[in-house]
């Protein structure tokens, strides 16, 4: 968890494959601990062909069945099928001007004022109005398992939102 925080969490990424992976993993995390997802991350990457959305979008029923049989990942048919459908929706967005990242950019509010020293993780929101609006937009575009809490966690992990705490070397304030 420390390595993930120090090397990845909250670091801005805009690479489409990396963004799709983060969104997919956040969706799989719903109802589970993030530690569980991180432990299974290598297996997820292998099972989902590196989360290349062009490959995942081409998956069919046999691929969904194969994934359901893979003990290395979270075997939840709804989440697996959502990830396949989300790859198709992601590619449709990538074909638009600016792609997925540009859509997300349009929903991210300006940074909040500096957090006071002593801010704790429990002081951070689980979702925001911007995440709720982006969640609605993604669902309207065919995405599933993208509720406001999942979307907010994605915004945090992909660096659109800085929820590092004051005193953390990554905190941009």
**Angle CA 112–127–145, to nearest 5:** 140
Catalytic residue among 4, 81, 137, 171: 4
Indicate the angle between helix axes 77-94 and 16-29, nearest 10 degrees. Answer: 150
Catalytic residue among 8, 9, 21, 26: 26
Catalytic residue among 34, 81, 137, 171: 34
Task: Tell me how crowded residue 97 is: count the other CB atoms within 10 A of its CB.
Answer: 6
Burial letters 35-46, b for 16+ CB under 10 A, else e: eebbebbeebee
160 is catalytic: no
Which pair of tokens denotes residue 37?
């997802």
21 is catalytic: no
171 is catalytic: no
The residues annotated with a catalytic role in the active site are 4, 26, 34
């Amino acid at each position: 968890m420390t390595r993930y925080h120090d090397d990845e969490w909250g670091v801005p990424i805009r690479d489409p494959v990396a963004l799709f992976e983060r969104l997919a993993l956040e969706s799989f995390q719903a109802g589970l601990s993030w530690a569980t997802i991180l432990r299974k991350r290598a297996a997820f990457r292998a099972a989902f062909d590196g989360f290349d959305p062009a490959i995942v979008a081409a998956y069919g029923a046999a691929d969904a069945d194969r994934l359901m049989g893979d003990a290395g990942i979270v075997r939840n048919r709804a989440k697996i099928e959502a990830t396949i459908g989300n790859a198709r929706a992601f590619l449709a967005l990538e074909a638009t001007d600016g792609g997925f990242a540009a859509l997300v950019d349009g929903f991210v509010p300006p940074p909040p004022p500096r957090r006071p020293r002593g801010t704790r993780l429990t002081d951070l929101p689980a979702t925001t109005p911007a995440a709720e609006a982006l969640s609605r937009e993604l669902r309207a575009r065919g995405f599933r398992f993208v509720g406001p809490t999942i979307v907010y966690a994605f915004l945090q992990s992909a660096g659109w939102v800085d929820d590092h705490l004051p005193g953390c070397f990554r905190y941009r304030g």
